[in-house]
Amino acid sequence: MNRNFIYSLLAALLGVCIGALAVLCFITPGRSSHKMDTTGGEWSKIDLVLKGISSNYVDTVDHKAVTEAALESILQTLDPHSVYMPPVELKASEDDLSGNFEGIGIQFNVPDDTARVLEVIPGGPAEKIGMQQGDRLIKVDTTVIAGVKFPQDSMVRRMKGPSGTKVTVTVLRDGSYIPFEITRDKIPMHSIDASFMLNDTTGYIRLTKFAKTTSNEFLLASLELLKDGMKSLVFDLRDNSGGYFDQALQLSNFFLDKGDEIVYMEGLHRKRENYRADGKGLLRDISLTVLINEGSASSSEIFAGAIQDNDRGVIIGRRSFGKGLVQEPFYMSDGSGIRLTVARFYTPSGRCIQKPYTDDYHYDIYRRYADGEMVAADSMKVNRELEYTTVGGRKVYGGGGIIPDVFVPVDTTRATDFYIQVTRKALPMRFASYFYDQHRSELSGIEDFSVLLKYLDSAALEAGFLKYAAEKDGLRPSAPQEWSEMHDYLMTQVRALVGRYSKLGDKAFYHIYLEIDNMIDEALKPHSIDLISQKS
């Protein structure tokens, strides 16, 4: 049954209900009308309409499709984050946050319309059977996925599957096609993309989500950095859309003193619950800087708000997403479920950072660009009527995300025409894949960062990239001055992408890429909470 038709049908029936049936009777004289008793409770109309459809509709009704469309429509009227999830979507979502999933155990990207293996997860089924970093994915079972613009999410779905089931993945390696019959298994997932020392005393951790394993991963990463001499930490939560609430609490607890409030939550049917630190955190004496941007949401904002309101560290970046709602899952016996908003969370100062439910709620980030907020601090939306104070007396504001203590704009200064063109065509990623094809044996053996840097310095990447851009897409810098303006910016990205093909993987990528990251530059400057307070 056509989905748009289902929505239209439900809108008509649920919106006017008895009136719609009355009109029907009016235009068909001589037929008896159907009266429905709506005194049976608050939701009786919905039940009556669905029963009326089932008993009277002119054609066969797809009950499952109508029911799911009704559920989606009902939840959409509540708030932007209460959702119905069919079985497949619910399982995929929970797998992503559970710290493991069932599949073959590879990470890949898709340069030039052919998926290329970036990482073979240690101990996973793909590694055990001999799949290697750099392999090109050609077929999954009998389905060709290379060179046919096959959707990346569909590739993932075909390779995932229940533990114990088999899938045959054919790869291209060194000119030979190799079919691997792989038995799927549980694959461990990591929420920390990278952790390393930025200098002799400053550690760096990038967290991509708050999964079930996050606090354990964070503890292990922190212990390694402390062993390396860490006195201060740059904690990168950019584009971290959140996850499990308890993980945000545990990470906050690493840094806060006993009794410090982390967050409280409250709703119409949920009594207020306060959450405080127990004073046993490993990193209470470590200087802390937190990086956020417009993609930092939910649990990321709980953490950033707790640190900011307790004057425990400096928040650097751009205004966060603004999701201050708490969802609880409700499961159904067919494997589907809903995530229903049951409360709002509030930072220690009392801020609710949920942004308003506007008609263009899901396009809010585009509006921020249009309003100039991404490049100018003065353009940030600040509701001065929702003013709060931190424990140290600094002013902070609610009503739409965490506003950073130190604003860092999107860097547009080096976006020349040549840079825009090569980026639009994904040339840095495509060149990295091409370079790896030529130097697989050399890159694959590198597992020390200093060795990698020496190799990249001697690899003539600049000449190789310019030649590749000219030959593949006819792209050249318009003048030497244009190339000099963006040379360091672009070639650092190229080096990072090539370095990713070493055994260091994402750790190499971020370590190199951060050299051109203006937010990291700001984070490495001395920032005092007292000085920030004077500016407030």
User: Which sequence positions are flagged as catalytic?
Assistant: 298, 309, 323
Of the CA atoms within 13 Å of residue 121, those in its CB half-sphere come to 18
- Cα–Cα distance for residue pair 173/150, rounded to 1 Å: 20
The closest of 200, 181, 86 to 128, measured between CA atoms, is 181
SS (H, E, C) 134-180: CCEEEEECCEECCCCCCCHHHHHHHHCCCCCCEEEEEEEECCEEEEE
SS (H, E, C) 48-102: HHHHHHHHHCCCCCCHHHHHHHHHHHHHHCCCCCCEEECHHHHHHHHHHHHCEEE
Q: Which residues pair with 261 in a beta bridge?
A: 276
Kindly report the number of other CB atoms within 10 A of residue 525's CB atom.
10
Burial call 24-38: b when 16+ CB within 10 Å, e when fewer? eeeeeeeeeeeebee
- Cα–Cα distance for residue pair 404/519, rounded to 1 Å: 12
Contacts for 436 with CB less than 8 Å, ≥ 6 apart: 134, 443, 498, 501
Q: Are 336 and 84 in contact (CB under 8 A)?
A: yes
Strands 395-397 and 166-173: unpaired
Q: Within the chain, what is the greatest distance between any pair of CA atoms?
A: 91
Kindly report the number of other CB atoms within 10 A of residue 263's CB atom.
25
The closest of 111, 110, 105, 6 to 53, measured between CA atoms, is 6
Using DSSP, state whether 366 is helix, strand or coil: helix
- Cα–Cα distance for residue pair 17/34, rounded to 1 Å: 11
Kindly report the number of other CB atoms within 10 A of residue 183's CB atom.
14
Dihedral (Cα; 280, 285, 289, 295), 10-degree rounding: -10
The residue count of the chain comes to: 536
State phi, psi for 535 to the nearest 5 degrees: -80, -20
